[in-house]
Homo-oligomer: A and B are copies of this chain.
């Protein structure tokens, strides 16, 4: 592969993808809002750019075989902010990729596109959306757009519905929803190296005993996670207060995002909750 563009390269997840992606292409072009990035690989270039800037994206993506699009606000925020970075950002990427003949986009979608389903409903990759926040709604938008560009122009896309990507497992919800960094990297690698993907959706969850999602319809991608949050179960359950099944924040896949008012940070809420445990 000649060139991969990675957006969101300075982020908590994007940053971990730089080295693996650099190994998969002749050139990796990393981009984000930061001034610069440390530790560039030999074949890696960094360009400061805003995904919400159409011209910048059009320029960056020229000649790219694939785009790994992780650049966006990674939290619930007021609609206007989400609109710029997450809606427009995604549009700019797909529009540029189509114009330039890019073959595939790997997209950091999110569980929050499906966050209002109760956890007692196992969610598959072909059920209708049920977002929990403006953040989740922007993921629905990009997935539907990805489906359209595939149907109309043959531009492939793999939408990764990332659940709880983090280092150590942080709370009871994550016993089911955790995605280890290693498994995230595997997921992105498989999405890049699969010969054919068409338009595909897959959940980004580790091999957790309590995983509440069904990836079977995307089995052809060959994603087989290795880590298991159950290693943390005894310790975490011991300090978890009694849950209230009538509370959407506890009953729904979206977790706290299913409870916070629209426009209000869910990440802050989760942080408090984890500290509180």
A: residues with CB less than 8 A from B are 79, 83, 87-88, 91, 95, 103, 116, 118-122, 126-133, 136-137, 140-141, 144-145, 147-148, 151-152, 154, 156, 172, 175-176, 193-200, 208-212, 214, 216-224, 230, 233, 237, 240, 242-243, 245-246, 248, 250-251, 258, 262
Contacts and interface: CB of A to CB of B under 8 A. Distances in A.
User: Copies per complex?
Assistant: 6
B116 A151 contact: yes
19 contacts: A83-B88, A120-B196, A122-B217, A128-B147, A130-B147, A130-B148, A131-B144, A137-B141, A137-B148, A140-B140, A141-B141, A151-B258, A172-B195, A195-B240, A198-B251, A210-B220, A211-B219, A211-B220, A214-B219
A147 B176 contact: no
B148 A131 contact: yes
Contact of A220 (B119, B144, B219, B222): B119
Given A79-B95, A141-B141, A220-B212, A119 B87 contact: no
